[in-house]
């Protein structure tokens, strides 16, 4: 699944994982916040796959054995979440604001 900067769906993730052995290591490449390392914000998966690794032994880039979920943090919630279209709720005695008692003369 190679879709940089596009939100992955559950179906796309299932398809990407199909056929990968159960004991394959899984990592998440999430964006870091250097100003606030303890801060965590929602991120979306934008691509998945096996990367390449250079072990520094002169053989150059080789396929990695680790499957990665690549994330993107710069998407607004409007790009990911969509409020469902539904009719307005009817006010009931439980949800309607209570009336203030009238002052006695």
Write the pLDDT tens digit of every residue in 82-92: 778 889 888 77
Check whether 78 has a pLDDT greater than 80: no
Whether 50 contacts 21, CB under 8 Å: no
Q: How far apart are the first and last CA of the chain?
A: 74
**What DSSP designation does 52 have?**
E
Beta bridge partners of 69: 28, 48
CA 58 to CA 81: how far, in whole Å?
Answer: 46
pLDDT in tens, 4-60: 556 778 898 899 899 999 999 888 887 776 666 666 677 888 888 998 999 999 999
Give the pLDDT of residue 60: 95
């Amino acid at each position: 699944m190679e879709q940089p900067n596009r939100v992955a769906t559950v179906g796309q993730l299932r398809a990407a994982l199909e056929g990968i052995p159960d004991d394959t290591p899984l990592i998440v490449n999430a964006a870091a916040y250097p100003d606030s390392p303890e801060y965590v914000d929602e991120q979306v998966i934008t691509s998945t796959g096996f990367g390449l690794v250079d072990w520094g032994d002169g053989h150059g880039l080789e396929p990695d054995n680790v499957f990665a979920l690549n994330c993107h943090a710069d998407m607004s919630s409007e790009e990911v979440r969509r409020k469902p279209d539904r009719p307005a709720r009817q006010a009931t005695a439980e949800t309607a604001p209570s009336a203030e008692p009238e002052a006695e003369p």
